[in-house]
Amino acid sequence: MWPERELDYVKLEDDDAGAHYGLFEGEQMISVVSLFIDGSEAQFRKFATLESMQGKGYGSKLLHHVLNEAASSGVKRVYCNARSHKASFYQKFGLAVTDRTFTKGGKDYVIMELYFDASGERERNGVEQIND
């Protein structure tokens, strides 16, 4: 996601507190994401798929896994800072656009969120979602 930046740009102080996932094809890492759980909320960050491998379902498979991990951990809400032009991708998974936006590194972001009911099922938020 930030190939023009140094590795330190994507490091976070609390990286050790997150669960980090990667999807591989053979020895090649295709897609990555990190999940940070804090009480009843979770945030997924650093979600990226190699540009040459986008549109092939790798990121979707990994995101399904992370959302299921969040639900099984008992969180009530999961959210992300989505690049604004990618919001429709996340909406397919049930995440809803909020009114909170910001710009970082010249890229526009919108905070998106998904709520889980008491049984860990995704609440619909009025958008279509992909079934697992």
pLDDT digits (tens, 9 = 90+) for 85-100: 999 999 999 999 999 9
**3-class SS string, 50-106:** CHHHCCCCHHHHHHHHHHHHHHHCCCCEEEEEEEHHHHHHHHCECCEEEEEEEEECC
Whether the full predicted model's pTM is greater than 0.95, yes or no, is no
CATH code assigned at 82 = 3.40.630.30
pLDDT digits (tens, 9 = 90+) for 33-88: 999 999 999 999 989 898 899 999 999 999 999 999 999 999 999 999 999 999 99
Contact predicate 37/65, CB 8 Å: no
Asked whether residue 127 carries a pLDDT value surpassing 90, the answer given is: no
CA distance 85 to 96: 14
pLDDT for the residue numbered 12: 64
Domain total of the chain: 1
- Does some domain include residue 131? no
Percent of all residues in the chain with a pLDDT value above 70, rounded to a whole number? 84
- Does some domain include residue 74? yes
Asked whether residue 30 carries a pLDDT value surpassing 60, the answer given is: yes
pLDDT for the residue numbered 77: 96
- Does some domain include residue 122? no
- Does some domain include residue 1? no
- Does some domain include residue 77? yes
Structure tokens at 43: 């945030």
- Does some domain include residue 38? yes
